[in-house]
Amino acid sequence: MKRSLKTRLILAFLAVALTTVLVVSAVIRLTSGQSLFELVVEQQTAALKASVVAYYQANGTLDGFFEAYLQNSRPAPDQVQPENPEPRPDMGDIRGVYGLVDAEYRAVMPTFNYQVGQVVPADRIKQTIPVEVDGEVIAYILPDTGFEFKLSAEEQLFLQRTTLAIGLAALAGVLVAVAMGFLLAGRLLIPIRRLTRASQALAQGDLGQQVPVTSQDELGQLTATFNQMSTELAQADQQRKRMTADITHDLSTPLQIISGYMEMLEADQVALTPQRVEMIKTEIEHLRRLVSDLSTLTQVEAGGLELALQPLKPAALLAHIAQAYQPIAARQGVTLALDAPDTVPAILVDELRMRQVLKNLVDNALRYTPSGGTITLHAAAEGKRIEMAICDSGSGIEPEDLPYVFDRFYRADKARDGSAGRMGLGLAICKALVIAQGGTIRAESEGRGQGTRMVMRFEAVEEEQGKRDKG
């Protein structure tokens, strides 16, 4: 039979309470007799000590003390006391007191099988309590810690009341444990039930579930983690749907063009001219590039992209890109400037992949920089970090779009999407490749019409160290 978590919590509280009560009760019950014995010995030892002192002060000796003890411990019921009796100690019940010896170790009371007056060897006197009068030891009391005695009626009543109190405490503890179990189990299960309902809804496809965080304990942390997971799942689902729609759109357009031309060619409606062949080749290249970009992203994110890392000077990388794009920039009326001193230390990167990143960034900058604008390829050292940046004076990016410009297929009209054709993958590929090479990348812009800076940062590396790492 399955038990609910609430039932198991209550039973756990009950088990802990019962175990605790039973252990405490057993300990108290086992030690109460010994404690009572020790109390009796302590009291009777104090009484005997007082009696010894009184007898010694009255008589100046302990001779005859034992006889006085016998007379006072067993008085006749109808004994008539004299009008002026000699002072005698009230011996009472001296259970637990084994014996008494004087200062010369002579037995005053029968001690260790030695009769009154016999000398007890010093080694037989183990634990003694000295009795002093005016700073002088007159006797030694020998308590017997192993003495077994019968309980008096008062002592039996005390132990019975103690046992009853323990039983009542046990019952109260059990009742309190059950009540606390109900209360705490109910409170603990509230967030768990909420998480259960939210998880069930999540499993049924209702993403974005949120559960109130009501504490800072482990349950609160679990709830916060669930909320974060749910939010990320919803965002991932939206991104997946958006990506699927974008891929479908980007694939369908060239496929429709190619399919249309093929149908017309089959029907002899058009002639196969060089221009139409070039159009078909362009659309096929578009498809090939889309598949290649998606494959690159998948490889990078899966950690399967092989990189040939080597130390390279940022100045050389940027100079190569500037030389390649100078004619294109000139045709658009854009000034392409290079600000990368050769003194900037090398970085450990893959040359081909780094050129791919820089080409995508420059392509993107050219797309959004009007005639008369400027694109600057920048490199500088900042301590042990190397900064590389593609800066343009183009249309800029709105602040609300900056966090998303590196997302796949992000295409806000006012934002700058990637440069890989029309797919919006260029900047996503740039980010993935930069991170794979141990760097970071971010977009900076003051807003619409204020230009944009694509900033990358890498760790500086000495050339010899880079060669060793490569090897």
Question: Are 280 and 315 part of one and the same domain?
Answer: no
The answer to whether residues 246 and 325 belong to one domain is no
Residue 444's domain comprises 309-470
Same-domain status, 39 and 64: yes
Q: Domain with 254 in it: what CATH number?
A: 1.10.287
Residues 157 and 54 in one domain: yes
Q: What is the CA radius of gyration of the chain?
A: 49
Residue 453's alpha-carbon distances to 217, 223, 409, 449, in angstroms, are: 43, 39, 20, 13
Report pLDDT for 463. 53
Query: pLDDT 10s per residue in the chain (471 long)?
Result: 456 666 777 777 777 777 777 777 777 666 766 676 677 777 778 888 888 898 888 888 888 888 887 777 654 444 444 444 444 344 445 555 667 888 888 888 877 677 888 888 888 777 788 999 988 999 998 876 555 556 667 767 777 787 777 777 777 777 777 777 777 777 777 787 888 888 888 888 888 889 888 887 777 888 889 888 888 888 878 767 766 676 676 677 677 777 887 788 777 777 777 877 887 787 787 777 777 777 777 777 777 778 889 999 999 999 999 999 999 999 999 999 999 999 999 999 999 899 989 998 999 899 889 999 999 999 999 888 999 999 999 888 888 888 888 887 666 544 444 443 444 678 888 898 999 999 999 999 988 888 999 999 999 987 555 444 444
- 22 and 123 assigned to the same domain: yes
Is the domain of 23 the same as that of 128? Answer: yes
Is the separation of the CB atoms in 93 and 82 below 8 Å? no
pTM of the entire structure?
Answer: 0.48
Identify the domain boundary among 143, 171, 206.
206
Q: What's the number of domains the chain is made of? A: 3
Considering only CA atoms, which of 42, 55, 56 is closest in space to residue 87?
Answer: 55
Q: Which residues pair with 102 in a beta bridge?
A: 139
Q: What is the per-residue DSSP string for 277-291?
A: HHHHHHHHHHHHHHH
Q: Are residues 341 and 441 in the same domain?
A: yes
> Which of 175, 206, 237 finishes a domain?
206
- Say if 213 falls within a structural domain: no
Please give the C-alpha separations between residue 115 and each of 66, 108, 112, 219, in angstroms, as whole numbers: 11, 8, 9, 76
Distances in whole angstroms, Cα of residue 391 to Cα of each of 343, 362, 365, 444: 20, 9, 8, 9
Same domain, 388 and 295: no
The answer to whether residue 79 is domain-embedded is no
Distance CA 64, CA 86 (A): 13
Is 212 a member of any domain?
Answer: no
Distance, CA of 308 to CA of 350 (rounded, Å): 5
Pull the structure tokens for residue 30.
Answer: 């086992």
Three-state DSSP class for residue 24: helix
If asked whether residues 10 and 40 sit together in one domain, one would say yes
Instruction: Indicate which CATH number applies to the domain containing 395.
Output: 3.30.565.10
Q: Are strands 374-382 and 335-339 parallel, antiparallel or unpaired?
A: parallel
The dihedrals phi and psi of 348, each to the nearest 5 degrees, come to -95, 100
Q: Do residues 337 and 321 touch, judged by C-beta distance below 8 A?
A: no
In a domain, 211, yes or no: no
Residue 388 resides in a domain: yes
Is 77 domain-assigned?
no
Q: Are residues 339 and 423 in the same domain?
A: yes
- What pLDDT is attached to residue 350? 92
Q: Same domain, yes or no, for 238 and 354?
A: no
163, 186, 206: which is the final residue of a domain?
206
- The reply to whether 16 and 91 lie within a common domain is yes
SS3 assignment, position 393? coil
Strand partners, 129: 141
Q: How far apart are CA 428 and CA 337, in angstroms?
A: 25
What 225-232 contacts at long range (C-beta under 8 Å, 24+ apart), as own/partner pairs, is 226/195, 226/198, 226/199, 230/198, 230/202
Q: Examine residue 180 and state whether it is found in any structural domain, yes or no.
A: yes
Q: Is residue 80 part of a domain?
A: no
Q: What is the pLDDT of residue 422?
A: 45
170-187 CB burial, b ≥16 within 10 A, e <16: beebeeebeeebeeebee
